[in-house]
Amino acid sequence: MSKTKEQRVVIVTGGGIGIGRATCAQFSAQGDHVVITDVLEDEGRALAEELTAAGGDCVFLPLNVRDTAQAEAVVAEVVARHGKVDVVVANAGIAHRVPLAELSDEKWDETFDIDLKGMLRVIRPAVPAMGAGSSIICLSSIMGVAYGWDAHVHYSSAKAGVVGLVRGLAVELARSGIRVNGVAPGYIRTAQLLSEKNSLGPKAAEIASPYIPMGRLGEPEEIAKVIGFLASADASYLTGQVLTVDGGLLVGRY
């Protein structure tokens, strides 16, 4: 008789919408206990209820990753309940269009505070509760690995910082058996991409698809599947890497 697989405890930041939402659904479908965190409380709670109704084991905890005390409290609550953390998916982020001439120190700092430091705020308290075989996955972007984006200098810079965070943490945590990897999505069909104010807008598919060798936008679920792989035992010898998932965009252009 096979041994029942131990349920993993997974924390996802920015889990209420987009890639974070798809990631929570992915882990929930696998039978993991999913801690959905987000500053968007309505969306986060609705998702937790939806996944629970579908048979999942999910809870929502409000979290603004700019708040160190709140991040530490959320992790402490998870550890108090379950005694461990197996997976952290650091996904929360913003991407606002701001031309250089209008890019204030405050907007630069806000972006870094959420997109980069926000990851550290959750990872740092979680690591002591993570054992060998645990995994951390950080969301970067093609804008952080090889792709420039005008009016998003602050975003590209922060997402490039995520690559450094992944590499540094991977080396430091390897001896503890904790793997750290990243994902750099390309153009994915999310509310962010479809925002006319901050990205390509409703015609995103029409604008971007001609430049993508696979000829289409990616779906949040396709990124979630890669995150699921990175968190699995199938990626047991993979650490310190940032996987670009972009339908061939970068190799097609460069």
Residues forming the active site: 155
User: How far is residue 29's CA from residue 134's CA, in Å, rounded to a whole number?
Assistant: 19
The Cα 254–Cα 147 span in angstroms is 10
Which DSSP string corresponds to 124-177? Answer: HHHGGG--TT-EEEEE--HHHHT---TT-HHHHHHHHHHHHHHHHHHHHHGGGT
| Nearest by Cα to 56 from 14, 18, 13, 23 | 23
47 is written with which tokens?
């998702």
